[in-house]
Structure formats: structure tokens, C-alpha cells
Structure 1
Amino acid sequence: MNAVFHPQKEFSTHFLGCQVVPQRDKTLLRAAEELRYQVYCEECRFLRPEECPDGRESDEHDVNSAHFAALSLQQELAGYVRLVHPDAIQTFPFQNHCVALLEGVILPPAAQSAEISRLMVRKDYRRRHGERPPSGVSTDEAESARAHELRNPSPEILLSLYRQMYAYSLRNGIRYWYAAMERSLARILARMNFGFQQIGPATDYYGPVAPYVADLRVFEYQLSQRNPALLAWMRSSCVLC
């Protein structure tokens, strides 16, 4: 994990986000797959452990994804997420499970979109009830306490991962993010100024979740009005592993 650490004073003082390039970062990618196994197979039982006999979780979407990690000051893997690009028929993983859409919803162009997937934080780095978010980022502790543990990451880790996804999206012409998530997480993200719009009813897709979409241009405008310092940090140069 050859990362050079440059923490930001206000928004991420304990973690560095970076892109994981499979051909280059083999050790870090392996650690991410092991974390995916721990969370999805052992903790949450979304997948059967026997489907991953080597203790690493991966799937057919990995080759069509950009991978991101959050590292601690000690260079430990603390969190992981991926952005899945559309497949050959211009669809995304969530569409295999969330088949219904709300009335009037029109999906944005697939070529300008990606799906946030496998968002997770290592167990010992998850935020405890009562922990304060980074300066300048608001949240609701009562609601966050009700959120599923898997989807209740440390605010700094979440910001580090989202910053990397945002930088990657700007470089690659991605304007829209899909995400299948619990309503509680969507509300937490909204309070952290990451607004997603629900586009379909809840269904069982690794737990009870609903599909959401975010327009990054809308996100940028809203953030410029509500928290311009956070937007400037999101837009600043990102240090890659």
C-alpha cells in the first residue's frame, strides 16, 4: 500500500482515500476482497461463505468497476467501495433486483452513469453512537444509531471514499450515481450534503434497500450553497495509491 498521506484539516484527518488499480495494487485489492468476504459472507450473510472458499469475495462486475479504498494513518484498510460501469447492454447490477421504478422516473444516459456498490467499512472502524462527525458536516445521531451497522460508516471514511469517486467521475465523464441503499443511509448522506433521489420501491437486495440516483451537477450546486468548503475539498487534487 504505497500511499503518501496528506490529510485534510477539516474533513479527513485520519484517513486517506485512494483508487485501487488491480494491475498495480494487487496487495491492496486482495485486502479489499478479504474485507468484502468478512462483511458480506461472515457478518451479514448476504452471500454464502462456501461460495468464496478462498476467503475473498469478488464477482463478475469487478472487471467493469473502478475500486476505491480508505486507509488509516497506519496504512490499514478501513473502507472500500466500487463504481460499476454499465455492462454490454447498458444496464447496472441494481436493475437485476430493483426492477420497478416510481411513476415518472426516467433514467439518465447509461454512458454518463455508474453504480455505487459494495460500500463497506471494517468493523473496528465503524462509527459508534455519539461520535462527532468532521467539522462542517452535520448529522443526526438518533437516526444514525438506527441505521444498519454495515451502512453506518465513520463520516471521515465515507467522505474519503466519496471524494475519490467524485474525482474519478469528473475524469471519466460520469455525471450520475446510482445506489441501492437503506432509507436511513440516504437520510444520513443528505445531512452530509450528498443528496440522492429515490427512484424505485424498496426491495430485498442484500437487505431491504431502494434504488436512488444522484446528479453530480445538482450535488455541486447544492454543496456550493450549503458547504462551499466541502465542495472545494472534494474538487481538490486527490492523492492516489
Structure 2
Amino acid sequence: METPRRDSYSAGTEAALDDQVRDFIEQYRFVIARTKVDRYRAYALRHKVFREELNYRLGENADIPFEKDAHDRHAILCLLHHTTSKRDAGCLRVVLASSDPADKRLLPLEESCAHGLTDPLLHPSKFERSCLCEVSRLAVHPDFRRSRDCALGLREQDLQLLEKNRLPPPSPLVTLSLFLAATAVVGLVGRYQVFAMMEPRFARLLKISGLQFRQVGDVIDYCGPRAAYYIDQRDAERDLQAPLQPLYWHIKESIAPQLTNELNVL
């Protein structure tokens, strides 16, 4: 497992952290859901957002208040916990492709959205499975986002502050921190080839932050209009906007020790 590179941002950055980043670090922490209890916390949050709020038909059993499926057995689940209120503000998962050639399991988008994967070069089948993953099920609790029109609630006017070398307000920062955590997780476990299903407008917003996902499929109806996107984690880490770099490295350093031996149980 890769260890965080503290020299990847300038010396003295910690001492010069933006007050907003300091506040975020004091109020939130990322938890890799390794126990059954923690994993069900993630499933419960997903149920609230995806099923109750957005009415998506996701998961295996709609009769229970936990949204989960077979891919969770091969996924790293991560929670964003608000320490002041002792509530979970967000969650995400990284589904790992099998590194065993005899294991033919597919990533979620290969299984459910194969007809939408149209790029002949940037297709999951073109990569070594041991370097491949999919980021999915990112959700922010409605109490921790200002917009309720999607599971993440980002607005362009908030992210445009990054282009002026300024951080967005706390609510969008919660959402962005989930993508930073996903970037950290896939880098730490060496799954650099990353796929995700996203709304095109959301991919455009992430591009402002430096996360330049490339569309590799047609827009299809999958819980609304979505397309397959691809990014190399190493490019994502390199291209992050400067105001997000200190927060990213803090998140990566806080997650790294939690991932010890994580791959051995997936």
C-alpha cells in the first residue's frame, strides 16, 4: 500500500492552513467502514438519500432500511462523520475489480451499464483488473448540503471560487471532500484506473476542482441521465486545485492507517 507523500505540497503548508480547512478538519473525520456496524451506517445513509429522498430503485432488498448490493462485498466503504453532532454526513464506496484471473466478476457499471460504455480504448476490459476500480454510491445527508436536487448538491457558483484560488463554502466542501477521499483511497490501494457513473453536469463541476474525468460512454438513463467517466488517480492527485491540496493530504494521511490489511478481507 502506498504511503502519503508529505513532500507533495510545499513545506509549511500545515502551519498555513486556511481557517476554513482547519474548521473542516476539526469538525469532520473520515472513517473506513471495516466493522459490520460501520458498514450498516453507510447502508443506512444510502437508503435515506437514494431511496427515501430520491426514489432510486437501488439495492437488493427494498423492504429493509439499508441500501446495499452484491458489489459491497468487494468494496471499501468510507464514511464522513460530523464529530460535533455525532452524525454521518456522507459516504462513498470504492468497488474493486478482482485481481484473480479466474474471478470473472464485473464492476457495477460493466454489469448494469455495459451498453453505455462506448470508448474503444478507455473501457474497463482494456485494463489490468488488479489496477481497476469504480467509485460509486457517493451521498451527502440532506442536512449537510444546501441543494437537494441531487445526492451531492454541488453548485457551479460555489466551485467557481476555486478558480479564484479560494475555497468554496462548507457545504460544497463536504461534497468535494468525499471525492478527495475517494481519490486518496484508490491511490493508497493502487487502483489507479478509476471509473464512475455521473451526470455530465456534475463531471463539469468536478473539472473546476481539478478532477478532470473523461467521458467514455453515452448518456443513458441510470437513475437519471448519466454517463460513464474515467480518470487516472495519479492525474487527479496532480491536477487538484491548489486550495484543495492541504485538505486532500490531510484526508489521505488520516485514511492511510485505516486501510492496513483492508485488501486481505475483500
Q: TM-score, normalised by structure 2?
A: 0.70
Alignment partner, residue 97 of structure 2: 86
Unaligned runs of 5+ in 2: 1-16, 148-153, 165-169, 259-266
Distance 2:77 2:28 in 1: 16
> How big is the shift at 1:203?
1.0
Residue 165 of structure 1 deviates from its aligned partner by 2.2
Q: Which of the residues 55, 76, 101 maps onto 2:87?
A: 76
Change in 2 beyond 3 A, CA 1:138/1:110: farther
Counterpart check, 1:18 vs 2:31: yes
Contact 2:219 2:227 in 1 (8 A): yes
Partner of 2:134: 115
CA deviations 1:146-167 (Å, max 9, x no partner) are xxxxxxx932222322333233
**In the alignment, structure 1 residue 235 sits paired with structure 2 residue 252:** no
Task: Give the one of 226, 235, 239 matched to 1:218.
Answer: 235
Aligned mate of 1:185, from 174, 199, 202 = 202
Post-superposition offset of 1:134: 8.2
Q: Does structure 1 conserve the Cα–Cα contact (< 8 Å) formed by 2:117 and 2:218? A: yes
Identity %: 25
Residue correspondence of structure 1 range 33-44 to structure 2 within 5 A = 33-44=43-54
What letter is aligned with 1:162?
F
How far off is 1:110 after superposition?
A: 2.5
How far did 1:210 drift? 0.1
Q: Deviations over 1:144-193 (max 9, x none)?
A: xxxxxxxxx93222232233323322221111221101011101111121
Cα distance, 1:74 vs structure 2: 1.9
Counterparts of 1:48 and 1:222 in 2: how far apart (Å)? 33
State the shift of 1:213 in Å. 0.5
Q: In the alignment, residue 104 of structure 2 is paired with which amino acid?
A: I
Q: What is the alpha-carbon distance in structure 1 between the residues aligned to residue 186 and residue 59 of structure 2?
A: 33
Indicate the residue corresponding to 1:166 in structure 2: 183
Paired amino acid for 1:238: S
Deviation per residue, 1:83-110 (Å, 9 max, x gap)? 0011532531111214243344333332
Kindly tell me: are residues 100 and 127 of structure 1, through their superposed partners in 2, closer, same or farther at Cα, counting changes over 3 Å? Answer: same
Instruction: Give me the whole-angstrom Cα distance separating, in 2, the residues matched to 1:132 and 1:10.
Output: 18
Post-superposition shift, 1:50? 9.7
Q: CA RMSD in A?
A: 3.1
Q: Deviation digits for residues 57-88 of structure 1, max 9, x if unmatched?
A: 11111110000111123221111110001153
How far apart are the structure 2 equivalents of 1:187 and 1:131? 9
User: Residue 102 of structure 1 corresponds to which residue in structure 2?
Assistant: 118
Query: Do the aligned partners of 1:115 and 1:177 also contact (CA within 8 Å) in 2?
Result: yes
- Distance, in Å, in 1 between the alignment partners of 2:201 and 2:75 is 26
How far off is 1:44 after superposition? Answer: 1.9
Secondary structure of the residue aligned to 1:61 is: helix
TM-superposed CA distance for 1:135, in Å, is 10
CA distance in 2 between partners of 1:178 and 1:78 (Å): 24
Report the Cα distance in structure 2 between the residues aligned to 1:113 and 1:196, rounded to whole angstroms. Answer: 15
| Structure 1 gaps, min length 5 | 1-6, 140-152
The total of aligned residue pairs comes to: 216
Q: Secondary structure, in 3 states, of the residue corresponding to 2:41?
A: helix
Deviates more, 1:213-222 or 1:40-49: 40-49
SS at match of 1:37: helix
Deviates more, 1:156-165 or 1:32-41: 156-165
Distance 1:134 1:17, change over 3 A: farther
CA 188–48 in structure 1, closer or farther in 2 if over 3 Å, else same: closer
2-structure distance, mates of 1:109, 1:50 = 29
Report if the CA contact (8 A) 2:116-2:227 is conserved: no
User: For residue 142 of structure 1, what is the aligned residue in structure 2?
Assistant: none
